[in-house]
């Protein structure tokens, strides 16, 4: 009898333990379902980093969500403002053209690695360098070493006759999509204004940029303008013609009519676009770029059941005055599921 009693007690204990296990599994399942639901509701959040500049070009601080108007395909949205964590880490790709006449610009970029020192010295920044002519390749993978960045810049060599700007943007954005989500993603594009030889399709890159949270900053040079300045300074005697080039003004006019690829991409992402023609110009633009890197408001909206495809965004201030807002002009939605 004692043996049977012990057996019944053991069975009760076993059933009790099984019941507890089932209860715990149900609790965990409930948590998992709750987490999946929460993630699903957040899937339509659109992040919109925005830089507000004064008429003097300085960053404007102290604004709240109520100060911004965001329109998605013309429809005003409820705007939320997230606190940007102080010292937010940054992942940056620097895409540098080395094809065509870009090697004449290398001396003007001499101060680039020095300008990046504060970013990497504080341990908050990782920088990768991509170089391109008709082909695109990684010259330096993400690093926090100032010495590696300086060495890579010093080793930059002239390329072939191509300037595949669109391919370089495509390549760089894909690199940045691999970094952790909590990092700020920035592409610094240094190139001429015209694309020569890209294989990527414009519509594919537009969609990719629309899905990315990467901000593109573009520092562009004009080969024609640089050539004129170098001729005046006697820096390109090997390129000089013995007689005046009567076609030069016509060629410059034709170039001016072509699409400005860096400016378009920077505008789409809410980044900045500037031209440089001298080393001093370049350094000043880089100072502005560094100052604005951590000066953005992190806005977000939650469109309800957005249609699949490209959406046009318009971000402005309710009381703009002489202030301007730089923010992404589009995003790509996969559609409601």
- Quick: pLDDT tens for 148-193: 999 999 999 999 999 999 999 999 999 999 998 888 899 999 999 9
| Cα separation values, 278 from 131, 227, 243, 284, 301, Å | 21, 12, 26, 10, 41
pLDDT given at position 206: 81
The answer to whether residue 101 is domain-embedded is yes
Is 19 a member of any domain? no
Residues 173, 311: one domain?
A: no
Question: Are 97 and 160 in the same domain?
Answer: yes
30 found inside a domain: no
Categorize the per-residue pLDDT at 43 as very low, low, confident or very high, splitting at 50, 70 and 90.
Answer: low
Residue 319 shares a structural domain with residue 194: no
Quick check: 79 and 70 in contact, CB under 8 A?
Answer: yes
Report how many domains make up the chain.
2
Is residue 18 in some structural domain? no
Which of 89-103, 108-122, 188-202, 209-223 shows the lowest mean pLDDT across its residues? 108-122
Tell me, yes or no, whether 183 and 260 share the same domain. yes
Q: Does one domain contain both 65 and 165?
A: no
Residue 277 lies inside a defined structural domain of this protein: yes
Task: Tell whether 262 and 317 lie within a shared domain.
Answer: no
**Cβ-Cβ contacts under 8 Å for 4 (sequence gap 6 or more):** none
Report if residue 14 sits inside a domain.
no
271 and 328 assigned to the same domain? no
What mean pLDDT is predicted for residues 235-257?
Answer: 41
Same domain (yes/no): 203, 57 = no
283 and 190, same structural domain? Answer: yes
Whole-structure pTM value: 0.73
pLDDT of amino acid 257: 31
- How sure is the predictor about 67, in pLDDT bands with cuts at 50, 70 and 90? very high
Rg (Cα) of the chain, in Å, rounded? 27
Calculate the average pLDDT of the chain: 78
Q: What is the pLDDT of residue 190?
A: 95
* Region for 198 from its dihedrals, namely left if φ exceeds 0, alpha if ψ lies in -120 to 50, beta otherwise: beta
246 — pLDDT class (breaks 50, 70, 90) = very low
The pLDDT value given to residue 333: 83
> With pLDDT > 90 as the criterion, what percentage of the chain qualifies?
39
Tell me the residue range of the domain where 326 lies. Answer: 43-84+300-333
pLDDT higher than 60, residue 202: yes
Stretch 262-284: mean pLDDT, rounded? 87
CB 279 within 8 A of CB 107: yes
Higher pLDDT, 37 or 324: 324
144 exposure class (CB count in 10 Å sphere: 0-12, 13-18, 19+): middle
Predicted pLDDT of residue 21: 47
Q: Are residues 322 and 227 in the same domain?
A: no
Residues 274 and 319 in one domain: no
CATH code for the domain of 189: 3.40.50.410
Distance CA 108, CA 106 (A): 5
211-227 mean pLDDT: 78
Look up tokens 């939650």; give the residue: 302
Q: Are residues 77 and 95 in the same domain?
A: no
Residue 109 belongs to a domain:
yes
Q: Which of 226, 142, 207 is nearest to 169 (CA)?
A: 207
Does the residue 7 lie in any domain? no
Q: Give the pLDDT mean for 251-262.
A: 52
How does residue 288 score in pLDDT terms, banded at 50, 70 and 90? confident
> 152: how many CB neighbours lie within 10 A of its CB?
20
């Amino acid at each position: 009898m004692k043996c049977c009693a012990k057996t019944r007690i053991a069975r009760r204990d076993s059933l009790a333990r099984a019941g507890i296990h089932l209860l715990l599994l149900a609790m965990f399942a409930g948590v998992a379902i709750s987490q999946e639901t929460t993630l699903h509701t957040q899937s339509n959040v659109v992040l919109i980093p925005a830089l507000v500049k004064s008429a003097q070009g300085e960053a404007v601080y102290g604004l709240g969500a109520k100060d911004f108007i965001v329109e998605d395909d013309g429809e005003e949205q409820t705007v939320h403002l997230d606190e940007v964590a102080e010292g937010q880490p940054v992942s940056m790709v620097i895409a540098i053209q080395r094809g065509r006449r870009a090697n004449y610009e290398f001396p003007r970029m001499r101060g680039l690695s020095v300008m990046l020192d504060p970013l990497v010295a504080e341990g908050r920044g990782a920088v990768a360098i991509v170089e391109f002519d008709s082909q695109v390749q990684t010259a330096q993978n993400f690093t926090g070493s100032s010495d590696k960045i300086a060495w890579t810049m010093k080793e930059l060599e002239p390329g072939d006759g191509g300037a595949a700007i669109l391919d370089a943007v495509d390549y760089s954005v894909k690199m940045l999509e691999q970094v952790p989500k909590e990092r700020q993603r920035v592409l610094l594009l240094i190139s001429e204004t015209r694309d020569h030889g890209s294989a990527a399709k414009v519509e594919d890159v537009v969609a990719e940029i629309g899905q990315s949270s990467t901000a593109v900053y573009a520092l562009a040079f004009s080969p024609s303008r640089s050539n004129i300045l170098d001729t005046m300074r006697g820096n390109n005697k090997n390129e000089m013609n013995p007689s005046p080039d009567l076609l030069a003004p016509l060629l410059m006019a034709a170039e001016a009519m072509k699409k400005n690829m860096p400016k378009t991409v920077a505008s789409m992402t809410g980044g900045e676009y500037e031209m440089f023609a001298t080393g001093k110009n370049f350094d000043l633009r880089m100072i502005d770029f560094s100052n604005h890197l951590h000066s953005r408001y992190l806005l977000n909206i939650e469109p309800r059941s957005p249609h699949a495809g490209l959406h046009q965004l318009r971000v402005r201030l309710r009381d703009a005055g002489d202030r301007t807002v730089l923010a992404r002009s589009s995003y790509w939605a996969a559609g409601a599921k």
